[in-house]
A and B are shown apart, each in its own frame.
Chain A
Amino acid sequence: MLRRAKGNWTYFVIAALLLFSILIPFDWFLGRYTGLVILIGISTMVTVGLCLLMGYTGQVSLGQAAFYGTGAYVSAILSKTYGVNPWLAMLIAALATGAFAYVIGYPTFRLRGNYLAMATLGLGVIMWILFRQLSQYTGGPDGMAGIPYLSIGGFVFNTPFKRYFLVWLFCLVILLVSQNIVRSRAGRALRAIHGSEAAAESIGINVTQFKVKIFVLSAVYASLAGSLFAHHLRHVSPQSFDFMASVKLVVMAVIGGLASVWGAIFGAATTRILSDELLLRFGELDVIVYGLILILVMIFMPEGLFVKLKDVIAQWRLRYEQRGTKT
């Protein structure tokens, strides 16, 4: 009886959250935060990929902003300068970014050392340089504006209200797809790799190939997010895709939990809100806070903040139930 009650409780919570999120963009509710929540949704898409990457390959990407930026710029350039259909541009961007990630990832993951961090850091720097230097295409350090809206038929996503649902639809799809993967044969293989690479190899898992696949997946997620970002703000500039942008993404993933899927929302939300608040009050101090978060979370909760929170809550619930059965 208790177990069914617990199951019902979970459905109730999910339904409540769903209702809550659908109501957010309405002016009479939390409408003034719609822009922020859209950005949280976009960040979540990138963060999920990063969480999976760090959780299952044991390596860090310090250049996710490169993939994010590539998606944004390719979408922007193709749709504005060349009049390509924005959806097609988004697809092209995702494919290009994925190919990019494959080319970088394959040699990097074959090696025994931990080269991904520096390789991606370098990649992030190169892309940032390109975004700034290829001003003929990218608009240089000031970036480019006037990026068209996304639209389906006659329906144009020209208000934050409409874009909110579009972005979170994408985000939800990505979260569900990621969850499906984690629970599948591929997910088992990834968890096996996380558990013991030697044992995973011994049962026929091509460890390198899986790591590369996850890396490519994370790049595609980031690219899609970047494209949505471009069509949301309608303006892209290199500052959004520099080294600190990549670091912030790592902070989101660390808070959300390595190898966690839904925790990414928590990580993205906390970091975005934190970063806005901090920047408002203290200027450049946000970097110091990020550094501290990374250090402290990794030392005391290496699985990530969200995962640790879930554990703590589960323990409380257990204690609560035990007390119930005792009386």
Chain B
Amino acid sequence: MTDLLPDLLHGPDPDPATMAALHARLVAEASHRDLLDVAFTTLDSPVGPLLVAATAEGLVRVAFEAEGHDRVLDDLGRLVSPRVLRAPARLGAVTRELDEYFAGRRHDFDVAVDLRLATGFRRRVLTHLRDVAYGSTSSYSSLAAASGSPGAVRAVGTACATNPVPVVVPCHRVVRSDGSIGQYRGGPAAKRVLLDLERVV
């Protein structure tokens, strides 16, 4: 005789709506008890799907698809806290501001940024990056000078290439002195899209 009992006990898979409701309840209770250390969500954009993640202090990571979103989440789990949950509501302001930016309706971001993933000189460079205005560009060498180390042009390049919050902290506005576009965490094509977007408006 076929043994059906284990299958019957197993039952059908819990339906996705049930699991989604349980997940939402977990997020709400975790937030309430300060157990949600890293909230993340994903959104579509002209530069492809973006993963955005925030701590209680602010936006901690923006990641392009090419970086591998799973790997980025693993890194966040390792470097910030393993208490990571998908929680779109916690990122409502971030996704709204990004949508406005990509629609050309926003030039500056108001959301708080948590730069804990950048330290030392790199962090200093990112702070100065926020002074490069929408629609303008800077060069690696002038950013090096602004950061107090005129000789550290390569280090500035590294700081831009490892910017944990691209788009919001505008490393795409830093181009090479010879006029070529230079490297970008999201790839040169994404950098081109962002520069064109800002030029059109």
Asked if A pairs with B, the answer is no
> Which residue numbers of A lie inside 8 Å of B, CB to CB?
none
